[in-house]
Chains A and B, each alone.
Chain A
Amino acid sequence: MLLPLLLPVLSALASAVEVKRPRGVSLTNHHFYEESKPFTCLDGSSTIAFEWVNDDYCDCQDGSDEPGTSACPNGRFHCTNAGYRPQYIPSSRVNDGVCDCCDATDEYNSGFVCENTCKEMGRKEREALAQMAEVAREGFQLKQVLIEEASKGREDKQRSLAELQEGKKSLEEQVETLRSVKEAAEKPEKEAKEIHQKKWEEQKAAEKAAREQARASEAFQELDDDGDGLVSVAELQTHVELDVDGDGTLSETEAQTLLGNALQADASSFRDAVWAAIKENYKPEGLPDAAPLPEAPREEAPEPQPDLPLEQPAPEDDYDEEEEEEGDDDESNEEEPKVPPAKQPSDKTAEEDEAEKMPPYDEATQALIDAAQKAREQFEEAEKSLKEMEDSIQYVYRLCPFNRVSQKPKHGGAETNLGTWGSWAGPDENKFSVMKYEHGTGCWQGPNRSTTVKLTCGKETVVTSTTEPSRCEYLMELVTPAACQEPRDPGAADHDEL
């Protein structure tokens, strides 16, 4: 006989759940545990007195006699987890001082107090599940679309591949054709522009000469103090600013030199010879000495480029720029023809402004220019598409499904192969959940790089993380609708329709 002292209280029977069952037994299994009968281990290996069920001693090899204690190494404990998901935990977690079941039932005799967190967890899980279901549903729909698209796309792609190859060829031809068109268009443009330019310059020179004449006459009038129609040495000497040797005075000899080694000059010789020698330093009378003549320096400054607005960079330049600043080219292309003229000095007289502004092109010239511009744009367009076609896309970090994974340093440098497509490597039940890319660039003193890509269902296809758990072995998380399974509960979808 065993003394009751040695038997633990079968506290399991005091379980509060409506259905009376030993601690750690699930509802579905409770019929195996009948208080009135001896207990047969679930594997049938032996039969024991019911008092030995949950008595904290392992009698069954399969652990089925101790569902509510930690006595059996291979047993399992059922937590009801009302409000959350019911769950089995290994017997080794019963009374181990760590809260495993959210209903806290696993720690009934360890001295540790666990809180019942099932309600909270249930709420969170429902939220998460709802979200996931939504993702799965949408993802699956997307997947269907993808599949459809893919089968269509496959044909399309094959077709378009041929087309594109054809297209590329024709594009190349087109580029060539357009290049000659452009060159043909540019030739008359250039000629017309040159003519226009030349005319403009001649006109400008004439105007300038006239202006000079006027100023010379004005100066002559001023200098000819005695009004004798001649500028004498003495008269010139009153303008000390004309001092040649920098001693502050205009000596007689200096004045004579300025007058062309003569003692005086008449109006015409002044205009033709003397004015040229003195105009640089000459200050009209009645103006303060310090104030420089606005015209004087400007006359010598480089001529403002009246044709600047129309100056076109060489097509080659255009092309270079495009290479350097991809993405900006549209903008710059648009703006180039509209570059405003260089700002005119504000103190310039209006007439001069008017005079220096080039008149608009005549219609014919403008038409030629427009034609050339159009040809240029077409040419660039064609060049760009050709380039895009030929170029591989630049990236920093890249996964090409079924091809390879690669990595490129952010700040430039050689690309590293993290593996080429190997095989599906998921567990047997879900083989297509993991991709394996192998035989990447070798590591120093290590293996060849390889990448494992884990696929999870999502609304769009995106790589959510990349890590390197051990040297040269990468792990990518790829979210994609392609990984979505048909939602298991069609009721949810029905529910939406209600």
Chain B
Amino acid sequence: MASERLGMAALAWMALCLAAAFAVDRSNFKTCEQSSFCKRQRSVKPGSSPYRALLESLQLSQDSMKLQLVNEVNKVPLLLELYGLQGNMTRIKINELSPLRPRYEVPDVLVHDPPTTWLAVTGRDENSVELSLGDSGHKLILTGKPFRMDLLQGRELVLSVNPRGLLHFEHLRHRKDSFSDKVSSSVGSLWDKIKSLFYREEPKESAPEDGAAGEETEPALPGDQESSEKSTKSEEVSDGPNRAEEELGSWEETFKTHTDSKPNGPTSVGLDFSLPGFEHVYGIPEHADNLRLRTTEGGDPYRLYNLDVFQYELYNPMALYGSVPLLLAHNTQRTLGIFWLNAAETWVDISSNTAGKTLFGKMLDYMQGGGETPQTDVRWMSESGIIDVFLLLGPAPTDVFRQYTALTGTQALPPLFAMAYHQSRWNYNDEEDVAAVDDGFDTHDIPCDVIWLDIEHTDGKRYFTWDPNKFPQPRNMLGRLAAKRRKMVSIVDPHIKVDSGYRVHNEIRSRGFYVKTKDGSDYEGWCWPGSSGYPDFTNPEMRAWWASMFSYDQYEASMENLYVWNDMNEPSVFNGPEVTMYKDALHEGGWEHRDLHNLYGFYVQMATAQGLEQRSGGLERPFVLSRAFFAGSQRYGAVWTGDNAAEWDHLKISIPMCLSLALAGISFCGADVGGFFKSPDAELLVRWYQVGAYQPFYRAHAHLDTVRREPWLFGEENKALIRAAVRQRYALLPYWYTTFYHSYRSGQPVMRPLWVEYPDDVTTFSIDDQFLIGNALLVHPVTEQGAHGVQVYLPGKGEVWYDVHSHQKHHAPQTLYVPVIMSSIPAYQRGGSIVPRKERVRRSSDCMYRDPYTLYVALSPQGTAEGDLFIDDGHTYNFESKAQYLHRHFSFASNTLTARSADSKGVFESPAWIERVVILGAGKPAAVFLRQPGMADTRLDFQHEPETSVLTLRKPGINIGADWSISLR
């Protein structure tokens, strides 16, 4: 027995080793301990805050309050600004009152200056002020010493700011007390000369000298503050801690072989929040982790720093390709959001007073009279910039989504084809290969809208070019695809080959558009093409130029059906620190890369999307896929979860990863179907096609070294399974499109965690193996190898759900064991909803344009249902600019199904009509009549299946834009 267990342990250990061999090399990426500012911030322990709010400095205008904060230790004054925003939001900004240099404030992420609402002081005493925040009924109590803010609704505490006293604002300072600086300030340039003899390779040393010298010559600077004497004294007193800071890498930091010169010294900011009554927090993508965030005590905080992580590991807080600094908290009463608008490297610590408590412990608390209220504490730490935080006060999940997207924008409405199936591979080798794959989809009768070309299609990794041997006639190739109403996506990465024979490089260089090193020369890093420059996408002129490169006359052979993919835009730099750019690289306006790192990918996608828009004169909606992202990226296209692997765990994690993104505003998310690295077996591939069919962005993609995996290469049986999954996707395209339209209009996520729709059902709060699309479809795809069944939780007290395949009705709430076979994709339509489908599946979505609809009416226990349908041309902005669209509303009540316009502003002629209505949960009527305004009633043929209570109405034949009603009698 014992030996057997030993054997097991040995096996487990071996398995671990094997797993480690495939996984990320963690040592390439920093831990909090290795990131000096994180370490410094984290070393500030909870306790009484050294910050004091100077209540007498309070200035109140109509919509804002300003107040000074002062650090009692170093006396550096800060400015606190507080805004009440319309729509139940509060904005808090903290900056230095008079920084040595301006500190970075994130531009371009907010869609506009958020509209404010009134503020009023409604009470004060010697150590606190009470403010009313607009009409929302929220009050804010600001305490002077120690500084903290508590936000209340009525008498209920909603959230607290700085309750644990972790506000830590590293003010800009002159460098001092390092040996070289002391010498340089006294001996001046002589030392410079001597030093340069010895330290030729370290010119960065000279950077802070200006500052140090500046301090010598400007002794009056601290005098700007209230009491110069005191402050000087305290500076002296704090000399000790300052030295410690030096040791912690305040002015220079080395990681592996890379040294980060920090000419501005320590600049980090940190602040904590308490969320009483909340045990569930979500968001802050991108991490390969569960939907519900875990506490980070005893480990690393969640990190937000856009990185190209090779073979990333699952279930940990390491940074990945993108960042959205939005955290949501949810309980049965309320949903909140904290949006920390900072684009520098950021770490988020989460702790909870109930974490680690067993159920028994919680019960004990309860028995003994309540115990503590459960509470989650969140601490944000960023390397530079200012504190600019938005408190989204909900109270419902839908409110938080509305609030967040009011700030950063909603999901752009993608062209219809982008929601269909995409076939990608690194790489389709040449034009013949592309033609063969294109034909394969027809031969095997599997729908496909887009074929993708990865980096090998270019002439030597020079983007905007074509390999002259493999792709000699790209225009013909695109034309061939266009004849089948298919599209192509080519990759355009932001690293530009340094090659004087390459026009793109020459133009960027001559225009001075490259990111610069700290010494002012063009920064060069190593990427796919070898030595590469990185265009400064933060520069609006650069972006305008980049956008112009996508015009048909600039991007050779590009056509209307060619769209774009931006990879490597973290930016990825193979030979840079943590595979990215030096933090002391310089951008437009003299900002350091450190200040805006997480924005780089956002800007790349923005500029590319603008290019695609402009090439059509602003008519066509762009499609751009990006790997890196930031808050607001939803405005520019789709993202995917990067370089995953053909493993079951990676399939499984695609659900929480996309759900977290959806909560943070980015709905158009997907994972590489099949897994990027390694080769999936047929079972994993089939299951992945099934999962992908119900995720927003549906693209199969594979690494160069993997074996080919087009759907028809795994035998007839698997081909049929994959075909069935892809067809399910196409049949539901009208529903996807309508759901995306809602997301565009109202900011609601397309793919939703269950708790979003069932906010008071605690059972749903941690579920991330199933999800909703819109509010009507629940999917629990199979993500386990060799599964025989899945446990599906059907939420909603008193609700019913219908199996979309068998139409069987299930009562909720319940956990349902569903037996599965290889063809099973457990999916359910919510009783009370109406879902439009197009059941004539064609070779591409564009071919389905004229096809008729089938309405699936799933009756609630009350015999009612509701749903809608959005239609436009599928690819232009005319729905917006010319109101050329149809938004139809369908409702079923009192045995009558009624179709009317949901939005009379939209006018659009569609050739599509209604071929069938399927009513789930209906009894058998005696007769069915169709009524149209001004016409006599028409009798409809129907079929009723008594076992499943499915009533199918044959061919109403009405145009989709018409008003009508159908009554069952």
Q: Could you tell me the distance between the alpha carbons of A445 and B957 in the complex, rounded to whole angstroms?
A: 57
The number of residues on chain B lying at the interface, defined by a beta carbon within 8 Å of a beta carbon of chain A, is: 31
Contact code string A444-483 (vs B, CB < 8 Å = 1, else 0): 0111000000000000000000011111110000000000
Stretch of A91-99, A130-138, A204-212, A245-253 that contacts chain B: A91-99
Stretch of B255-263, B279-287, B561-569, B705-713 that contacts chain A: B705-713
Contact A470 B954 (CB under 8 A): no
Contact A98 B941 (CB under 8 A): no
Contact code string B956-967 (vs A, CB < 8 Å = 1, else 0): 010000000000
Chain A residues, Cβ within 8 Å of B843: 92-93, 96, 98
In the complex where A95-B850, A97-B485 touch, is A3 in contact with B938 (Cβ < 8 A)?
yes
Contact A2 B707 (CB under 8 A): no
Chain A residues, Cβ within 8 Å of B916: 57
Residue of A with least CB distance to B677? A445
Q: Could you tell me the distance between the alpha carbons of A95 and B850 in the complex, rounded to whole angstroms?
A: 9
Chain A residues, Cβ within 8 Å of B433: 469
B residues 907-966 with Cβ under 8 Å of A?
915-916, 938-939, 941, 954-955, 957
Contact B851 A70 (CB under 8 A): yes
Shortest Cβ distance from B736 into chain A, in angstroms? 19
In the complex where A96-B843, A98-B847 touch, is A2 in contact with B941 (Cβ < 8 A)?
yes
Stretch of B227-235, B317-325, B834-842 that contacts chain A: B834-842
In the complex where A57-B955, A98-B483 touch, is A447 in contact with B707 (Cβ < 8 A)?
yes
Residue B938 contacts which of A6, A71, A467, A473 (CB distance < 8 angstroms)? Answer: A6
Q: Could you tell me the distance between the alpha carbons of A56 and B848 in the complex, rounded to whole angstroms?
A: 15
Chain A residues, Cβ within 8 Å of B850: 95, 110-111
A residues 87-133 with Cβ under 8 Å of B?
90, 92-93, 95-99, 110-111
Is B484 an interface residue when CB atoms closer than 8 A count as contact?
Answer: yes
Residue of B with least CB distance to A49? B941
Is A167 an interface residue when CB atoms closer than 8 A count as contact?
Answer: no
Contact code string B429-457 (vs A, CB < 8 Å = 1, else 0): 10001000000000001000000000000
Contact B847 A56 (CB under 8 A): no
Is A414 an interface residue when CB atoms closer than 8 A count as contact?
Answer: no
Shortest Cβ distance from B373 into chain A, in angstroms? 53
Residue B707 contacts which of A57, A90, A445, A471 (CB distance < 8 angstroms)? Answer: A471
Q: Could you tell me the distance between the alpha carbons of A365 and B509 in the complex, rounded to whole angstroms?
A: 82
Residue A471 contacts which of B484, B704, B847 (CB distance < 8 angstroms)? Answer: B704
In the complex where A6-B957, A97-B847, A98-B485 touch, is A471 in contact with B840 (Cβ < 8 A)?
no
Shortest Cβ distance from A99 into chain B, in angstroms? 8
Q: Could you tell me the distance between the alpha carbons of A472 and B916 in the complex, rounded to whole angstroms?
A: 50
Is B846 an interface residue when CB atoms closer than 8 A count as contact?
Answer: yes
Q: Could you tell me the distance between the alpha carbons of A467 and B430 in the complex, rounded to whole angstroms?
A: 11
Shortest Cβ distance from A49 into chain B, in angstroms? 10
Contact B939 A471 (CB under 8 A): no
Is A73 an interface residue when CB atoms closer than 8 A count as contact?
Answer: yes
Contact code string B55-99 (vs A, CB < 8 Å = 1, else 0): 000000000000000000000000000000000000000000000
Contact code string B471-507 (vs A, CB < 8 Å = 1, else 0): 0000000000001110000000000000000000000
Chain B residues, Cβ within 8 Å of A92: 445, 840-843, 847
Q: Could you tell me the distance between the alpha carbons of A95 and B842 in the complex, rounded to whole angstroms?
A: 10
Contact A71 B915 (CB under 8 A): yes
A residues 52-84 with Cβ under 8 Å of B?
55-57, 70-71, 73
Residue of A with least CB distance to B954? A57
Contact A73 B841 (CB under 8 A): yes
Chain B residues, Cβ within 8 Å of A97: 485, 846-847, 849
Residue B706 contacts which of A99, A467, A471 (CB distance < 8 angstroms)? Answer: A471
Is A17 an interface residue when CB atoms closer than 8 A count as contact?
Answer: no
Q: Could you tell me the distance between the alpha carbons of A145 and B843 in the complex, rounded to whole angstroms?
A: 47
B residues 799-853 with Cβ under 8 Å of A?
839-843, 846-852
Contact A473 B708 (CB under 8 A): yes
Shortest Cβ distance from A183 into chain B, in angstroms? 58
Shortest Cβ distance from A301 into chain B, in angstroms? 56
Question: Which of A92, A99, A468, A472 has the most CB atoms of chain B within a 10 A radius of its CB?
Answer: A92
Is A443 an interface residue when CB atoms closer than 8 A count as contact?
Answer: yes
Is A1 an interface residue when CB atoms closer than 8 A count as contact?
Answer: yes
Interface size range of chain A in the complex: 20 to 34
Q: Could you tell me the distance between the alpha carbons of A71 and B838 in the complex, rounded to whole angstroms?
A: 11
Shortest Cβ distance from A111 into chain B, in angstroms? 8
Chain B residues, Cβ within 8 Å of A56: 852, 915, 955
Contact A98 B484 (CB under 8 A): yes
Chain B residues, Cβ within 8 Å of A2: 938-939, 941
Chain A residues, Cβ within 8 Å of B846: 97
Contact B707 A73 (CB under 8 A): no
Shortest Cβ distance from B613 into chain A, in angstroms? 25
Q: Could you tell me the distance between the alpha carbons of A495 and B69 in the complex, rounded to whole angstroms?
A: 104
Q: Could you tell me the distance between the alpha carbons of A73 and B485 in the complex, rounded to whole angstroms?
A: 20
Q: Could you tell me the distance between the alpha carbons of A90 and B445 in the complex, rounded to whole angstroms?
A: 8
Shortest Cβ distance from B18 into chain A, in angstroms? 15
Shortest Cβ distance from A257 into chain B, in angstroms? 72
B residues 837-871 with Cβ under 8 Å of A?
839-843, 846-852
Contact B705 A471 (CB under 8 A): yes
Shortest Cβ distance from B140 into chain A, in angstroms? 57
Contact code string A31-61 (vs B, CB < 8 Å = 1, else 0): 0000000000000000000000001110000
Chain B residues, Cβ within 8 Å of A446: 705
Contact A470 B707 (CB under 8 A): yes
Chain A residues, Cβ within 8 Å of B484: 98
Residue B939 contacts which of A1, A71, A98, A469 (CB distance < 8 angstroms)? Answer: A1
Chain A residues, Cβ within 8 Å of B842: 70, 92-93, 96
Q: Could you tell me the distance between the alpha carbons of A1 and B929 in the complex, rounded to whole angstroms?
A: 11
Q: Could you tell me the distance between the alpha carbons of A96 and B442 in the complex, rounded to whole angstroms?
A: 13
Q: Could you tell me the distance between the alpha carbons of A445 and B842 in the complex, rounded to whole angstroms?
A: 39
Residue of B with least CB distance to A59? B954
Chain B residues, Cβ within 8 Å of A70: 840, 842, 851
Chain B residues, Cβ within 8 Å of A469: 429, 433, 708
In the complex where A469-B433, A469-B708 touch, is A6 in contact with B955 (Cβ < 8 A)?
yes
Chain A residues, Cβ within 8 Å of B955: 6, 55-57
Q: Could you tell me the distance between the alpha carbons of A57 and B952 in the complex, rounded to whole angstroms?
A: 12
Q: Could you tell me the distance between the alpha carbons of A164 and B841 in the complex, rounded to whole angstroms?
A: 67
Chain A residues, Cβ within 8 Å of B483: 98-99
Q: Could you tell me the distance between the alpha carbons of A382 and B338 in the complex, rounded to whole angstroms?
A: 91
Chain A residues, Cβ within 8 Å of B847: 92, 96-98
Shortest Cβ distance from B137 into chain A, in angstroms? 55
Shortest Cβ distance from B72 into chain A, in angstroms? 58
Shortest Cβ distance from A142 into chain B, in angstroms? 29
Q: Could you tell me the distance between the alpha carbons of A423 and B846 in the complex, rounded to whole angstroms?
A: 43
Q: Could you tell me the distance between the alpha carbons of A470 and B702 in the complex, rounded to whole angstroms?
A: 10
Residue of A with least CB distance to B850? A110
Question: Which of B485, B850, B955 has the most CB atoms of chain A within a 10 A radius of its CB?
Answer: B955
Chain B residues, Cβ within 8 Å of A468: 429
Shortest Cβ distance from A216 into chain B, in angstroms? 76
Shortest Cβ distance from A407 into chain B, in angstroms? 17
Q: Could you tell me the distance between the alpha carbons of A99 and B480 in the complex, rounded to whole angstroms?
A: 12
Residue A57 contacts which of B485, B704, B848, B915 (CB distance < 8 angstroms)? Answer: B915
Chain A residues, Cβ within 8 Å of B445: 90, 92
Q: Could you tell me the distance between the alpha carbons of A5 and B956 in the complex, rounded to whole angstroms?
A: 11
Contact code string B690-716 (vs A, CB < 8 Å = 1, else 0): 000000000000001111100000000
Pairs A–B under 8 Å by Cβ, sample size 29: A6-B955, A55-B955, A57-B915, A57-B916, A57-B954, A70-B842, A92-B445, A92-B840, A92-B841, A92-B842, A92-B847, A93-B842, A95-B850, A96-B843, A97-B485, A97-B849, A98-B485, A98-B847, A99-B483, A111-B850, A443-B705, A467-B429, A469-B433, A469-B708, A470-B706, A470-B707, A471-B704, A471-B705, A473-B707
16 more contacts with CB within 8 A, not counting A73-B841, A471-B707, are A1-B939, A5-B938, A6-B938, A56-B852, A56-B915, A73-B839, A96-B485, A97-B485, A97-B847, A98-B484, A98-B847, A99-B483, A446-B705, A469-B433, A470-B707, A473-B708
The 5 A-B pairs of least Cβ separation, nearest first, read: A96-B847, A470-B708, A57-B955, A471-B705, A6-B957
